[in-house]
Structure 1
Amino acid sequence: MQSEARTAVSAIPTQQPGDLGWDLGMILRGYQKRLDEAIEGMPEGFRGFQVLSTVVHRDPPNQQALSAHLSIDRTVLTYLLDTLVEADVVERIPAPEDRRSRKIIPTKVGKKLLTTYEKRVAAAELELLTGLEEQGQDSKVFRRLVGLLAMTIHQADPNSDPCAAIDHL
């Protein structure tokens, strides 16, 4: 098995400057295709999924913190939340520490919806990463390294919008 893994890795051509962009673009396209199918029907698509996931798993103290965490402009987030509120996915309540601001909480419908979509997204991600396992590589290592790189980049530029970067590809 070890020699098979070396063979698969040695079959990768020498990387040239600029190849990383092509590689990331191909990964992103593969992810985007699978994700589009996985989140079909989710109010506000991937952004709606991100908001709901963040509200459930990270419990930001108010709408401003949610906006900052997701790097979504506050006015854009307002419209996004309006749609999610209308769909009974989340609700706005006065923030406990400052009644002038709003905290976003999931509804029962939203929690159930998130459970459904998380399973679908997890299956899509597993399908995308299957190629690594088939080549004798560890997808968990890949995900960990990508996560570390993403956090390093985010810490250097916390206001950058990953969705805007995708739009510019």
Structure 2
Amino acid sequence: MLGRRYAAIVDPVFENFPRGARGYQLLHTVVHKRIPTQNALADYLGIDRTVMPYFVDDLQSAGYVQRQDDPSDRRVRTVIATPEGIAQYQMLSQQVLRAEQAFFDGFADEDRAVFVQSLSDLARRSRSYTPPEGR
């Protein structure tokens, strides 16, 4: 229920962005992290490796990312944000912040920050979770 309410408030920010919220998530990641390969980026984001090229193609067509050849291994192409992509990311992140403020209406800024940080920590831990043997 909470996720649906959040999506109803925040998702309209991405209605004209390539691949919507998932495209924004990809752009956010390449702005903030240097993940060496497209496959590693797909794994990091939990996007199927066969679908990832379409995400990158759409963001590249919009001018937000580019594939950069690795000088030490010509088979490797790292996805990086373009200056236009960084500017678009900054604009969208401000719109997301305003939408999140509406979502958290009535919460103190400190409470919102703690909640968002806790969710972020939980998401980060879930990436590396391995279930115990025998389950």
TM-score range normalised by the length of the shorter chain: 0.7 to 0.9
Give the TM-score of the pair, scaled to structure 2: 0.85
**Counterpart of 1:64?**
39
1:140 paired residue among 83, 97, 113: 113
Q: Give the secondary structure class of the aligned counterpart of 2:18.
A: coil
Distance 1:120 1:95, change over 3 A: same
* RMSD of Structure 2 on Structure 1 (CA): 1.9
State the partner residue of 1:29. Answer: 4
- Distance in 1 (alpha carbons) for counterparts of 2:40 and 2:113: 30
**CA-CA distance at 1:94 after TM superposition:** 1.0
Distance 1:146 1:120, change over 3 A: same
> Are 2:36 and 2:76, in contact at CA under 8 Å, matched by a contact in 1?
no
How far did residue 40 of structure 1 move? 2.4
Gapped regions of structure 2 (runs ≥ 5): 131-135
Q: For 2:24 and 2:78, locate their aligned partners in 1 and report how far apart those are by CA, in whole Å.
A: 17
Q: Is the 8 A contact 1:62 1:95 kept in 2?
A: no
Q: In the alignment, what sits opposite 1:46?
A: 21
Percent identical across equivalent pairs?
37
Q: Name the TM-score, length of structure 1 as normaliser.
A: 0.69
From the CA coordinates, give the structure whose radius of gyration is larger: 1
How many residues are aligned here? 130
The equivalent of 2:129 in structure 1 is 156
2:97 corresponds to: 122
Corresponding position of 2:59: 84
Per the alignment, residue 70 of structure 2 pairs with 95
Q: Which moved more, 1:146-155 or 1:121-130?
A: 146-155
Per-residue deviation, 1:145:
2.5
Q: Which has the higher helix share?
A: 1
Q: Which runs of 5+ in 1 are unaligned?
A: 1-25, 158-169
Mapped contact 2:10–2:96 kept (Cα < 8 A): yes
Q: 1:147 and 1:104 mapped to 2: Cα distance?
A: 23
Cα drift, residue 48 of structure 1? 1.0
**Which range moved further: 96-105 or 109-118?**
96-105
Shift of 1:154: 2.3
